[in-house]
Amino acid sequence: MGYVAIKGGEGAITAAAELLEFLRAQESNQQPLNLDTIRRQLHALHSRVLSEGGLYHPQLASLAIKQSAGDTLEAAFYLRAYNSTCPRLGVTPPHQGKNMRLIRRISAAFKDIPGGQMLGPTPDYLQRLFRFELLDESPEEFRQITQNWLQDIPKENFPTTFPKVLEYLRKEGLLPPISQNTASAFDITRQPLVFPVSRSAALAKMTRAETGSLLAIAYSNMRGYGDIHPTVAELRVGYLPVMLPHPITQELIEAGEVLMTECEIVAMYDKSEENGKSTFGLGYGACFGHNEVKAISMAILDRALQKGQKNGADNPSEDPEYVLLHIDGVESMGFTSHYKMPHYVTFQSDLDRLRKTQEREGK
């Protein structure tokens, strides 16, 4: 597609960028946002950008939020662009969610689970009412929140890792056996999607998808445009140790940890292809940061896509091509935003065709 040349627009484009910067700093009596403040006080926003950007770099995620004025799609774009410039230094082995240092762990399938439910930080049990006292919160009151919490922490040592709920269902034979798949994990940053895709490719695509897109398509499945009624077997939020092989000894060493959300659902039971026994179906979701809606939506769609590939897609939420090509926020935003660019030539062509059509219709 060709565009006509734009003359004399450089000054206007520069001024537009300067005006955007002015909007960020127009309150001259305010202090600029601190990156650590963004990370800690805008916890949910920060986690969402980490996840959709597909790069675990908390400092750069805060910078992306600050630079984009809180636009999650733009912020994720910054992380994706930076990630594309980074060299690949190594590859980690597969990691197990059971090794998480947990801050939250619940199950909707069972009241009592080994190790107990851990509610952790969540707004699930709050009424969505304004706390008007926060309008005039003083620094002293703000600091007191941390002090009050720390002084009430029990002195006993509690375990930070717990076994998976699914392990107990699998021991009873209620879940399909773990498949011995030796294929390499799909690398979404280096390999294009070519349908039909593997489950690994679908999970890789969904793990950095836009939260709202995943939620919308998963919701369509839940409310009748599908056949998946999920039950959350376990939802985990915590810090997963990242293990890397030592460059000389190849011994696995802990290089750090990443905050993650992981969800495993059980759904409609079906006959196992391995032994012919009826077992629950499984769905899995995981993403960077603390984003429970995204992890649950991902797990639901994972199960829906498995069903669609096995029995045929009866609705859009079970069609891999429909789902995986429409959930990436950065791609969707880029295509949508391109309509703001000059389309003078193509629109002139549309005008000419319409005028000629009306001329013929008038004869």
Hey, CA dihedral for 223, 226, 227, 228, is it positive or negative? negative
Any alpha helices (H) in the chain, and if so which ranges?
10-25, 35-41, 43-53, 58-67, 72-83, 139-151, 165-171, 199-207, 211-222, 292-311, 320-324, 329-337, 344-362
Per residue in 329-340, pLDDT tens? 999 999 998 888
Residue with tokens 């930070």: 160
Q: State residue 2's pLDDT score.
A: 37
Nearest-angstrom CA–CA distance, 132 and 304:
42
Tokens coding 108: 């909707």
Q: What is the mean pLDDT of residues 132-146?
A: 90
Contact 263, 286 (CB under 8 A): yes
How would DSSP label each residue in 127-168?
Answer: -----GGGGG--HHHHHHHHHHHHHTS-SS---S----HHHH
Tokens coding 280: 């629950």
Nearest-angstrom CA–CA distance, 59 and 75:
12
Q: State residue 7's pLDDT score.
A: 54
Strand partners, 260: 238, 288
How would DSSP label each residue in 3-47?
Answer: -----S-HHHHHHHHHHHHHHHH--TTSPPPPHHHHHHHTHHHHH
Supply the pTM of this predicted model.
0.91
Cβ count within 10 A of residue 212: 17
Domain ranges of the chain: 10-83, 97-124+159-335
**% of the chain at pLDDT higher than 90:** 55
HSE at residue 122, side-chain half, CA atoms within 13 A, is: 17
The band of 3, judged by pLDDT with boundaries at 50, 70 and 90, is very low
Q: State residue 215's pLDDT score.
A: 97
**In 3D, which of 88, 71, 305 has the Cα closest to residue 210?**
71
Q: 3-state class of 97 per DSSP?
A: helix
Q: What is the mean pLDDT of residues 222-235?
A: 80
The band of 272, judged by pLDDT with boundaries at 50, 70 and 90, is low
The band of 1, judged by pLDDT with boundaries at 50, 70 and 90, is very low
Q: What is the mean pLDDT of residues 116-129?
A: 92
Tokens coding 80: 């994706």
**Start-to-end CA span in the chain (Å):** 33
Strand partners, 271: 278
Nearest-angstrom CA–CA distance, 256 and 236:
19
Q: What is the mean pLDDT of residues 60-65?
A: 97
Mean of all residue pLDDT scores within the chain: 88
Per residue in 35-59, pLDDT tens? 999 999 999 999 999 999 999 999 9
Greater confidence (331 vs 151) lies with: 331
Contact 145, 134 (CB under 8 A): no
Query: Is residue 322 pLDDT above 90, yes or no?
Result: yes
Q: State residue 363's pLDDT score.
A: 63
Any alpha helices (H) in 225-319, and if so which ranges?
292-311
Q: What is the mean pLDDT of residues 248-266?
A: 94
Per residue in 281-320, pLDDT tens? 899 999 999 999 999 999 999 999 998 888 888 889 999 9
* CA geometry: angle 203, 59, 146, nearest 5 deg: 100
